[in-house]
Amino acid sequence: MNTWPQLLADYRKSEKARGHRDETVRTRMSYLRRFAAEHDPVVTRDTVITWLARDDWAPSTRKSARGALRSFYRWARRAGRILDDPTVDLDPVRVPQALPRPASESQVAKGAASGCRDSALMVRLAANAGLRRSEIAALRREDLDDLGRLLVHGKGGKQRLVPVLPVIQAEIRSRPPGFLFPGRFAGHVHPSTVAKWVKAASGSSPHPFRHRFATRAYSGTKNLRGVQEALGHSSPDTTKVYIQLADDALLDVMWAAA
């Protein structure tokens, strides 16, 4: 049957079987359900373009929605569930490059001093280790090795080893085995919970702490490749977006050009 409920259920199973992260699958399914509420499964390329051109979406949202549709229809075509993929040759969505927005040092200090141990550790992991909220949520005590390095489970199933500060090592080693932040019933907390707790403790969401980490790490080392590896970026161009140059560094550039 090629009804939406059956198609979405089968697509979700396929994505899980391919090893995609739960958060990635949930995000794609959310966009697909919105699309399914307004359209039949078999649509034209023009229909897809019209839906993606809606006025109430930011470019980043439009890009994510396009990615979800492309993934679904590629699967449906390969699986023989539809004859024609309407997303073939869709133009890419241009997302304007935003300025870096690092969290302030006062937000770091406030979050690290939080009376909640979990929130304080989450802030340190974001600000002092550059971890994403999904990476923080999935951490286990066993991910910290004897050399003080964290095995971080990043996007797309990629793993990396990140050395962490002694204060973070000590806090992790004081925890019981298993997830550092266990869920209410099973598994670990949802990444949105990490975002909620970090924001409540510090006044900032987790992502600006990654910008803060990148900015300070690059300022202290000028090692773009190292910062890229620490953040788990596949391209140094992505890392550059995270780094805010200090005013005095920009002033040096101006004087050099004078």
Active site residues: 132, 155, 207, 210, 233, 242
CB-CB contact of 77 with 85 (8 Å)? yes
What is the dihedral sign for C-alpha 53, 29, 234, 192?
A: positive
CB-CB contact of 137 with 180 (8 Å)? no
In the block, which residue shows the tokens 């679904």?
72
- Residues 195 and 134: their CA atoms lie apart, in Å, by 9
Both tokens assigned to 233? 């970026």
- Residue 45: how many other CB atoms lie within 10 Å: 14
Q: What are phi and psi of 24, to 5 degrees?
A: -65, -45
Residue 157 backbone zone (phi > 0: left; psi -120 to 50: alpha; other: beta): left
In the block, which residue shows the tokens 């133009």?
91
- Residues 141 and 145: their CA atoms lie apart, in Å, by 9
Closest by CA to 39, choosing from 77, 79, 86, 74, is 86
Residue 23 backbone zone (phi > 0: left; psi -120 to 50: alpha; other: beta): alpha
- Residues 26 and 16: their CA atoms lie apart, in Å, by 10
- Angle at the Cα of 252 (from 247 to 257), degrees rounded to 5? 130
